[in-house]
């Protein structure tokens, strides 16, 4: 069907690597593999075939659910933005909302680092800090009787610094993805021996792996991926 401008609709499927139903993926594969029917063929006997490109968006293209789809897809890897570019973009967003960080870019870099470069978590944190800072500023302006309060620039340095206290984890989304969970399982981490910590290293490794699996939350997907990849990975 055509859209409101007379052009074919664009089909975009997001988070396709999270599809648990293999039948859905195989249905898409069958549509892609189906050849275009010959002219004059009866409409009732036609099988569904691909009439336009389909855009699939995923976090991990090697997820088990996408194994049958990969041979038919043209793949584009989108790299995450650099911290400098992300901080520059966050400053532009703040400026458009009449907000600023007088303390410099240090807090914004701490925010980017604490959220792992997740733009959504950064924006959520800035939204929270901006709302709180504007509320405090409004009360101060009312006491001083200042006019033009909506056009004044608001500094969010103090509120943002409070939100990022504790290594930036105060506002960080602690959820992880499947690839991060697998990396935790298959990779050893060198831990420094701290004073008073008498637990053996193997115990701490097990706790670290169990914590990563618990944060991810989807145990069935973790087990399926481990079953496929455990013999291919080297535990280093």
Contacts of 43 (CB under 8 A, 6+ apart): none
Nearest Cα residue to 185 out of 166, 210, 203, 151: 210
Contact assessment for residue 228 and residue 64, using Cβ atoms and an 8 Å cutoff: yes
The tens digit of pLDDT for each residue in 175-234 reads: 567 777 877 877 777 665 554 556 676 777 788 888 778 777 677 778 887 877 777 666
Q: Which residues pair with 8 in a beta bridge?
A: 2
Tokens of 31: 């549509």
The tens digit of pLDDT for each residue in 37-86 reads: 666 666 656 667 777 888 998 888 888 888 888 898 899 988 888 999 99
Contacts of 67 (CB under 8 A, 6+ apart): none
What is the rounded CA–CA span in Å between residue 32 and residue 53? 10
């Amino acid at each position: 069907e055509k859209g409101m401008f007379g052009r074919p609709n664009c089909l975009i499927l997001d988070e396709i690597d999270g599809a648990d139903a293999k039948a859905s993926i195989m249905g898409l594969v069958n549509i892609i593999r189906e050849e275009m029917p010959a002219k004059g063929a009866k409409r009732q006997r036609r099988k569904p075939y691909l009439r336009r490109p389909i855009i699939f968006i995923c976090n991990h293209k090697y997820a088990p659910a996408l194994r049958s789809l990969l041979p038919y897809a043209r793949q584009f890897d989108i790299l995450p933005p650099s911290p400098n570019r992300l901080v520059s973009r966050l400053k532009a967003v703040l400026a458009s909302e009449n907000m600023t960080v007088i303390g410099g870019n240090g807090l914004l870099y701490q925010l980017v680092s604490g959220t792992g470069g997740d733009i959504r978590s950064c924006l959520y944190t800035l939204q929270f800090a901006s709302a709180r800072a504007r509320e405090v500023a409004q009360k101060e302006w009312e006491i001083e009787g200042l006019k033009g309060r909506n056009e004044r620039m608001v500094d969010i340095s103090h509120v943002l610094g409070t939100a990022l206290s504790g290594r930036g984890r105060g506002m960080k989304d602690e959820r992880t993805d499947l690839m991060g969970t697998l990396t935790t399982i298959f990779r050893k981490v060198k831990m420094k021996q701290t004073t008073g910590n008498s637990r053996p290293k193997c115990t701490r490794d097990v706790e670290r792996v169990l914590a990563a699996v618990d944060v991810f939350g989807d145990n069935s997907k973790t087990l399926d991926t481990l079953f496929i990849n455990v013999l291919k990975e080297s535990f280093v």
